[in-house]
Chain A
Amino acid sequence: MELIEHLGLGLATAITWANLLYCLIGVFVGTLIGVLPGLGPTATIAMLLPVTFALPPISALIMLAGIYYGSQYGGSTTSILVNIPGEAASVVTCLDGYQMARQGRAGVALTTAAIGSFFAGTFATFLIAFFAPGLSAMALKFGPAEYFSLMVLGLVAATVLAQGSLLHAIGMVVLGLLLGLVGTDVTSGAQRFTFDIPQLADGIGFVVVAMGMFGLTEITRNLEREGSRSIIAKITSLMPTKEDWKRMVAPILRGTIIGSAVGILPGSGSILGSFAAYSVEKKVSKNSAQFGKGAIEGVAAPEAANNAGAQTSFIPMLTLGIPSNPVMALMVGAMIIQGIQPGPSVITEQPALFWGIIVSMWIGNLFLVILNLPLIGIWVRMIMIPYRLLYPAILVFCCIGVFSLKNTEADVYFMALFGALGYLFSKLDCEPAPMLLAFILGPLMEEYLRRAMLLSRGSPWVFVQRPISAVLLGLAVLAMLAVLLPSFSKTREEAFRE
């Protein structure tokens, strides 16, 4: 069967010593930043992008991917031990995980999270391997109108699934699109919004924006409230009891499926998956009364979901070239830097790259399950590093990293600007993620819009006349309507408030 051949190619690519090493480095760094609150995968990947220039493309992408799904593993550690989510998606794990820790069952909680994540990761990897070729083949039939509508759907989904006010999120998307247009217009050659500043001729670098809004902004937000963290450092046994094993099976399965499905949707990645899995589990479980007081299902389901989601969020990026969340947007950027044009042709033109990444994701999950539990002592020590020592270091890496992109101080100034803007926006309930997504998609969307209009001789109806495009736009409208419905919006608010 073709699938076996493909996986074989992927395996051969992924198990070279170099790629194994980069995978290991990636998941290790990922777990590390997942454990440390205040530094997320977006900022880290942005920081490491300049470093990946020097690496061969497959190794670079393997490492960056490892950082992303590794951070989902690490995030659960702080959630359980300190009641502070190391990662946005691990918020839900705090609810029951920390309670389990207080009952002396921290080890069991950590093991549950690891097992759930490993199972989910394996499942998701096979899901990708199975569906990706079909999706890519279908996408090859896409014309500019379809691509435009797909991006609209992606951006709408990003606003729907974003926290904070929906109206503000839409505004952030539009603002992101506008900022993405700064620079030289490829089609006409005109310089837009550059105010004759030469460093803006190529536009504002997305790494600069990412580091500003996800790095500097995060640091500033953490400076608002400094406090000590009390940590449950005593971890006794790691092994779950037989009763625990029985209880965690179904939640892991449900969490995996929910997480995989939600992760594909543009806009979320892993966060919404873990919320949804927790809510579903709570409704469905026989032990729902225990939720919030240390129910093992409350750890198993969301952890499986967030890992599954992290991996399936690669699907739109690898098959269609459309990023479904800021991390994927950065991966698209990384591919472009390496000279690879993301899109449906990647799977046929660069099969070693495609399948190598997929297989390495499974290998990475294996590393993580082996790494996380024995090394728990190290992670605990890392958590205890006071933030006041950590964030200047983060700032240093951001500054040097951003400078090294184009060797210009202007990028450092822009990063500071976006850091300030990002902080301002965050205080006003305006989420940065939709903006970054829109920022990267902006020029692309304009290009597809132009081409679609050219081909349709100026008729905007082309977007609904072509069936695939119409379906995509229809989904976007549905998503918007769903959010505006009072019942759904209440659920959404509740989910985020918890």
Chain B
Amino acid sequence: MAKEKIVKALTPYFFIAPAVMVLGFTCLYPVVKGFELSFYEWNLGTPMASRKFVGWENFAWAWHDPAIFNSIQVTLIFTTFAVTAELLLGLALAFLLEKGMKGIAIFRTVFIIPIMIAPVVVGLIWRYLFDANYGLINYFVQLLGFQPKIWLGTPGLALPAIIVTDIWQWTPFMFILFLAGLQSLPRDPVEAAEIDGATNWQVIRLVKLPLLAPVIWVAIILRVIDAFRSLETMFIMTFGGPVRETEVLSLNIYKTAFLSQRLGLASVTAVFLLAFILLLSVAFLLIARPALAKK
């Protein structure tokens, strides 16, 4: 009897073992190796056997490297502004289009397009839109009677330009999540509020938003994790410039690994980025769980 119980208890582990092993090998192994590498000095293009153990030297260098701190700052600013704007715009759009209107299917398809475009292509499209000489944006700026700007090459302008690009690409993602969330809200509390004479705004603020909160949290955390890892748009639009004003952490890692070819130092930054994303993911799981439990 006892044996049967043990077998029964072990069965699920047996079935998930292959998946765990595959994940362990493809995800965990590189992470462990990356962490190990951060203790070595190893230049790209030299055999792995020639790498040198340097202990905490890479961490010490990173601590004194202004470029890394600059990148953390850029990443935080980028993430804060982009995700906040996407959240507010996404919510506004979702409430506006919540009540089925004519042609909503077309709207939804159109809104989804930016998410479907590869980030590299998004970068190229916006690089040409922001181009100082031939860009459409400068054309309209001039039509309105303002001086054309060197959007991607002037300190103080490039990061906002990249944030706008990110907002353009990812607001639809928020919008679709919220729309789906709104449409699956229970009707009863809303109807009850309406019968009690609540205004539209009151219904949104006091009934719908609190009910939608779990979805909002999930959306925010998904986007923050994504924004923290973003690389392609900056890589294409500015390659981190002007100076290092748009050099997000991923781009800093790329430059350290491939321009400076210091793989150990790049690993230190990568480990830091990973640790931060890991923390966010844990937060995501903790917040997402009650939402799942309710269903």
Tell me if chain B binds chain A: no
On A, residues with C-beta under 8 Å from B are none
On B, residues with C-beta under 8 Å from A are none
